[in-house]
Structure formats: C-alpha cells, structure tokens
A and B are shown apart, each in its own frame.
Chain A
Amino acid sequence: MKRTRTVVALVLCLFMTGCWDQLQLKKLLFVDIIGIDYEGNSKQLKVDYVISSLREASQGGGRQTSLHMKTTGTNLYDAVSNTNKEMPGILSVLETRLYLISSRFAKDEPLRHLDIASQFASNPLYAYLAVYDGDLSELLSKKSMNDQTVSNFLIGLLDDEIRRGEIPSNKLLHYILGGNQFMNDFALNRFEPYRDEARLAGTALFSDGRYTGKNLNNEETQLATLIESPSGKNQLLSSQRDGKQYSVLIQSAKRRFHVLTNADKLHEIEISMQLQVKLVEDGSEFKRHTDKMLKDMETFIAADLTTRTTKVMAALQQANCDFLQLGHEVAVFHPSLYKNLNWREQYPTLRIKPKVTVKILNTAILE
C-alpha cells in the first residue's frame, strides 16, 4: 500500500513539473528586438526579429550572436505563425527588450497593433518602445554595431541614457490597452540612422497614441524628461555666459504645477522647477566664488533654463502632446472646470509658464 502511494505521488510530481508545457532550452529562440513596420504600401505588418543566442558557450564565457529574421502578417500573432513555418524552433518573447517601430507605422494606429502583445501569456510588457526613423530591416539585419550585437548596442544606449535621466523610460505597458496615463500622450525615444549605425535623436511626440510627426531634439528631450519625472541624476546641462562655457550637474530637482483659474476659467498653468546643481566652468582662470558671484550665476542659469523650458513647452503644445499630463492635473484638482473644457482643443493655446529657480550647491571638486 505504501509503495503504491509513493509511486502515485511520484507520478503526480512528474505531472506537476509540466510534461505538457515544458519548453526545451535548446529549441527556444529568444527574441531580443521586435521591429514593426508596414510592408510596402499595404496595411500588412512587416515584422523583424533579432534573435539572440550564445555561441561556443563555455563556463563563464561564449560569443554573443544575433540572428535577424523578417516576416509579414496581418498582426503580430499572424507574423509569429508565419515565422514558425520558416524557421525551426520556438520563438520566445519572454525576454524581449525592445519594440522598435517605424515612424510610418507610428503615425497610423501603432497601439492597436501593439495591444495584441498583452495577449501573449509570456508577454514582454516591460520592453522598451522606441521609434526608428529609417529602414528597420536594414538596421536590424546588421551583424554588429560598434563591436556589439545590434540588441546590446540599441538597448545599451537606452539603458544608459535612462539611468542618466536624459531620456524618458518608455515601457510598452505604459501605452497599450488604453495606456496607464490620463491622456495617452507621450514622447517615445527616437533612433535615427547615423553613419553606418544608429544613434538616439531626441523623442517622437505622440498625441492620443499616434505619432504627430513632430520631435524634440536631444536637449529638449532632456529638459522635458526633467520636468516630467524630476530627479537629480547628475544630468549635464551646458550653456554660455559672456562667451564663456559653463555646465551644471543636477543634484536634485523638484517640480510643481500651479493651475491658475480666473472666474471659473482656466487662466494659466505655472510649472515651477527647483534645481540644486553643481557648477562647472570652462577656462583656466579659476577664482574663488563669492556669494554675490554665485547669486548672479544662479539668477542667470535660472533665466536661461526658464527660456529653454518655455521653448520645450511650446514644442509640446504645437504637437498637441500633453507629455506632462497637465490635463490630469486639471481634471484631478479642478474637476468641474475640466468637465467644461475640451482639453484637446484648449491645450495647444493654453498659457503655460515655466519658472525655474536654481541653487548652486558647490562647484564640483574645486573651489
């Protein structure tokens, strides 16, 4: 009796380990990047996969390689199904790190196609989403970039810049299925062809889930990111004063929105930013900074940043991209006011006034 029980228990354990759903590692094709564009002038999707694998694997080593595959389909599921007919193995998107979409695809209804990604049981919902302003297949078919695999190069660029607080962190789940923000307006990191490779070139502005065709450059992206998710990550901002170059490294950042109303009407939104920075100046004439000198410098930097931020806000308004979710701010703190507003219509002409204040903490490691 005991033996029977033991055998039954063992057989059950065998079942529990997943005889049916087991996946053999050697058969898995780990998709690192998924590139999506339209095929020619049709609405058929052209999907590129970059599959990463480790060749000549040995203890603690091996050679990373990437395999490029291209297929078409009416949607992502269909494309996967077509790939299965062209390539032996099982496509696994569990570890996908980047969805790269073409600007043409982004201008249409990108989220409608990307929504389906959430239906995969092993969905890579926290993969980055970015735009590429060039030929996706050409980019992804490259064997290497700067002596790195395509995946490591592109994702490495994003990872490092996000860590430095220079660009927004765009994860797929933040935008699909209606988006996790009040307005589905966002700025996606944008790659462009550069020499024989690619580089980050600011952000592509999306309004209501669609690419507006308007972009922010790298510097504007940095400021927009700073306002959207303020944090001091040693971001470097450079400018000139009296022909002399200076830089500030942001140590901490605080931001507040002030919605100003006038007789039950939205009058203005003030964005106040408080930055604490390190000052690094160019030149060989080092002199000890007096309180007055620092005060002057603080005022100058604040005015300069206010002007630059105002330009960023104008660019966002022009694209009707409420990247900062100001609409949410109004809806939450002034619900009755928001109810009578057509935010989409009002936002581009709204008075938005950034106001930056700067406090110089120190001048790096020298006096």
Chain B
Amino acid sequence: MMREESINGRQLITLTVMAQLGTEVLSLPHVGAENARQDTWLAVLISGVAAQIGILLIWWLGSRYPNRNFYAYTREVVGRPIGFVLNLLYGCYYSFSGLLITALYTDILKRWMFLLTPRWLIFLMLMIICGYAATSSLKRMAFISQSFIIFPVICFLLIAFSGIYGLDARNLLPVLSHGWAPVIKGVYVAYSAYIGYDLLLYAYPYVQAGSKKKLLIAMSVANALTIVFYVTVCLVCTTMFGQKQLIIVPEPIVFILKNYRIQVLQSLDILFLVFYVFVVSATIYVYFFLASKAFVHLRTSGLGNSYHWVWAIVTICFAASFFLTKRNDILRIAAFQDQLSILAVVAFPLLLLLISGIRSAGRHRV
C-alpha cells in the first residue's frame, strides 16, 4: 500500500459531503421536474436511499481488503491485465468527471456573471486551484474541506429560509399522480447527484474510525446530510415555483435567492454563485485526486507520482475545455457521464465484490 496519512471519521464525513454536493444543487429541481414533476423530492429521496445501498456495497468490498485501497486490490481480484485496464478506466473516468463538473460550473458562471470574461480563463482559474488542492494528501484535502464546510451550511440555510417568501405546499400534491414510472426515471437522473461517496473506494484503508461499523456509520451520516440538503432544495423549489417555470428555469435556486433584499448587499444570488466555488471545487479536486491515484496504481510498484499525474490531468482537461463551449454538448456529455457513473460506482464494485466472494468461497472449499 502506498503511503497516505489517515483521516478520522469526522473528516471522512466532511470530505464525502463536499464531494457529493456539486453543481447538481443548482439544477436538481429543474432536472427532477422534467422527469418526476411534483414528485421530484420523492425521487431525490429514493435515489439517496439507493446511494446508501451503493455505500454499503463499497464498504463491503473495502472490508474484504481493509489494508489496501481499491486500485491496489483490483489486480488481485480480477488479475493483472484486467486490473490494469480497470485502474486506467477509473483514472479516465475521474479525470472526465472533474472536467465535466468544471465545464458545468464554468457554464453557469459564464451565463450568470462573467458574460464577457473568456471561458478559458475561468476554466484555467478553476483548474489551477483544484489541481493544486488535488496534489495534496487525503488528510490535507480533508482539512481543506473542513475549512470550507461552512459554505454549504450557509447555502443550505439561505435556501431553506427562502421559504419565508411564500411557498405553496399544494404544489407537492397529488403525490404519485402519474404513477411510479416518472419517479423511477427521476431516481435515475438524481442518482448522479449523490456520486462522490465512491471516495470510499480509495479512502477505506486510510480512515481511522475505530471499527468497520463506525466507518459505515460515518459514510451513512455523510449521505444522510446530502439527502437532507437535496430534498430540502427540491421541496423549496417545487413549492415556490410552478411546474412550467421549473421546467424552463435551469437554476431555480439562483432565482429564489434573488428574493432576498438586503439593504447593504445588492445581489445575494451572485454572491452565492461566487462562493459556491468552494463547494464545486471540492468535488473537482477529489476527482482529480482519485484519478491521479488510479494512474499511479497502474503499476504495482507505482507509476510516476501523484503530483505529476494531477498536473498532467489538469493540462489535458484544460486543453479539452476548448471543445466544450456549447451548453447542449456539455449537457449531452453530462447525460453520458451519468451512465458511466453507474458503471464505475455501482456495476464495477458489485462485479468485483461478486468475483472476490466467489474466489474466496472457492478457496475455502479447497
């Protein structure tokens, strides 16, 4: 196992929450309304429960190899060549995810605030900041996340209290008016918002939670906090907007924050978008960090070092950003990434768990 400073349970919670919360907070009510209509909150809640099952799966897999991270034991489970391919795939997946989130956030900033600032510059700023953070250790990233956790808390309070400007609970009714089909579709779409808990794939052996059980509790607490955040956002948006409005407005949260009129502050919504960088960047640097670790583990003895891999990823992502200028393209790629996420975060770990279980059963029989 490569050297990595360990983190405690509380740090794991912070890091996981920050990794889970991304640009989805802004767009989830809109995307949800397109599919599940007034039952968006239900779809988001169910996908949170599904994410909890995902966490259980990864925790189970990690428990089988408590002293090694995911990339270190893939070879043992599926053999050297497939393990190599798997690590490579994970490296590409996390790099791609980091690129996509940066593109989505840049797109939001470009549409709402920096109309004239070149896109590449915003991209470069984010890449440098997130790249720099990703070169640090898991423990340092956890420290950074702990320092910034106040921002999602403030965001949450602002969103929750915006309800004082009038909400109509009837907008949530009737529940399941179109049956379960739209909700299930909504669950699939909302599931990607919970991605980030897969950090546990790598972090498992480096968490000093006291016991396996406590580690699972820490992850569950993190996921529960994210569920509360997302469900509140969806409830507030659904009760404050009409369905037609939610389908048209891609970032209803920004519209809601415009409601706050403070004498000494002109635009709380703009301030929110700026400070949201702390939340989004956490997801990005965690992804770049995981990608670099995956590439380092391409060879058992280590291929290069994580520092160089991070900057290589950042450079490639920055170059790729020049091709991601059209919003529709970004959204299409995001839909594709949702499918990839299911593969990387659910399907592959499940498959590895099964193979590992079968092998272990075989060994016992022998």
Contact A21 B259 (CB under 8 A): no
Q: Does A193 contact B (CB under 8 A)?
A: no
Max chain A Cβ within 10 angstroms of own Cβ: one of B112, B242, B261: B242
Contact A179 B113 (CB under 8 A): no
Name the prevailing secondary structure of the A interface residues.
loop
Contact B113 A12 (CB under 8 A): no
Residues of A within 8 A of B65 (CB): none
- Pick the residue among A21, A95, A178, A229 that contacts B115 (CB under 8 A): A21
Residues of A within 8 A of B170 (CB): 182, 325, 328-329, 332
Q: Does B320 contact A (CB under 8 A)?
A: no
Distance between B247 CB and nearest chain A CB, rounded to angstroms: 8
Distance between A81 CB and nearest chain B CB, rounded to angstroms: 15
Contact A178 B117 (CB under 8 A): no
Contact B128 A94 (CB under 8 A): no
Contact A335 B177 (CB under 8 A): yes
Residues of B within 8 A of A121 (CB): 111-113, 115
Name A13's closest neighbour in chain B (CB-CB): B125
Q: How far is the CA of A333 from the CA of B177 in the complex (A)?
A: 11
Contact B241 A126 (CB under 8 A): no
Q: How far is the CA of A23 from the CA of B143 in the complex (A)?
A: 36
Contact A181 B242 (CB under 8 A): yes
Contact A333 B173 (CB under 8 A): yes
Q: How far is the CA of A332 from the CA of B239 in the complex (A)?
A: 13
Beta-carbon contacts of B66-86 to A below 8 Å, as 1s and 0s? Answer: 000000000000000000000
Contact B245 A178 (CB under 8 A): yes
Q: Does A15 contact B (CB under 8 A)?
A: yes
Q: How far is the CA of A18 from the CA of B240 in the complex (A)?
A: 33
Q: How far is the CA of A179 from the CA of B245 in the complex (A)?
A: 7
Distance between A128 CB and nearest chain B CB, rounded to angstroms: 12
Beta-carbon contacts of B97-141 to A below 8 Å, as 1s and 0s? Answer: 000000000000001111111100100010010000000000000
Contact A173 B177 (CB under 8 A): no
Q: How far is the CA of A181 from the CA of B244 in the complex (A)?
A: 10
Q: How far is the CA of A92 from the CA of B218 in the complex (A)?
A: 48
Max chain A Cβ within 10 angstroms of own Cβ: one of B128, B170, B243, B244: B170
Residues of A within 8 A of B116 (CB): 20-21
Contact A178 B244 (CB under 8 A): yes
- Pick the residue among B173, B174, B245 that contacts A177 (CB under 8 A): B245
- Report 23 cross-chain contacts, Cβ distance below 8 Å, ordered by A residue: A12-B125, A15-B117, A16-B125, A18-B117, A20-B116, A20-B117, A94-B266, A118-B249, A121-B115, A123-B258, A125-B255, A125-B258, A126-B258, A177-B242, A177-B245, A177-B249, A180-B245, A182-B170, A182-B242, A328-B170, A332-B170, A333-B173, A335-B177
